[in-house]
């Protein structure tokens, strides 16, 4: 790997972040909070690194994250291998 490869990778990351729509992220947060207040659960999922991110977010919600509070209902769907393989099988595993 060359220095220019690292610079290119950083540039691509900055460009990707610049494409994030703050309004959509905000609205998603509002909708998630509304669902939780109504007794719902946040179900997260991902593939590869996104699966790890989903699991981390779920852990932060059911844990205390920065301050003492009640746990929030959340789960990462892919951490349940029975669900993961059953759903994959239903959609042509």
> Does the model's pTM come out above 0.75?
no
For the residues of 15-73, what is the DSSP string, one character each? Answer: HHHHT--HHHHHHHHHHHHHHHHTT--EEE--STHHHHHHHHHHHHHHS-TTS--PPP-
pLDDT one-digit tens code per residue, 75-92: 998 887 887 788 888 997
Is residue 59 located within the same domain as residue 70? yes
- Domain with 87 in it: 41-93
Distance CA 74, CA 47 (A): 18
Q: What is the DSSP letter of 78?
A: G
Is residue 67 located within the same domain as residue 88? yes
35 or 1, greater pLDDT: 35
Is residue 31 located within the same domain as residue 75? no
């Amino acid at each position: 790997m060359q220095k220019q490869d690292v610079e290119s990778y950083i540039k691509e990351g900055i460009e990707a972040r610049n494409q994030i729509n703050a309004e959509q992220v905000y609205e998603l947060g509002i909708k998630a909070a509304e669902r939780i207040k109504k007794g719902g659960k946040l179900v997260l999922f991902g593939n590869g690194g996104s699966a790890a991110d989903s699991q981390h977010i779920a852990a932060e919600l059911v844990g205390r994250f920065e301050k003492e509070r009640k746990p929030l209902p959340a789960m990462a769907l892919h951490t349940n291998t029975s669900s993961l393989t059953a759903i994959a099988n239903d959609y042509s595993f």
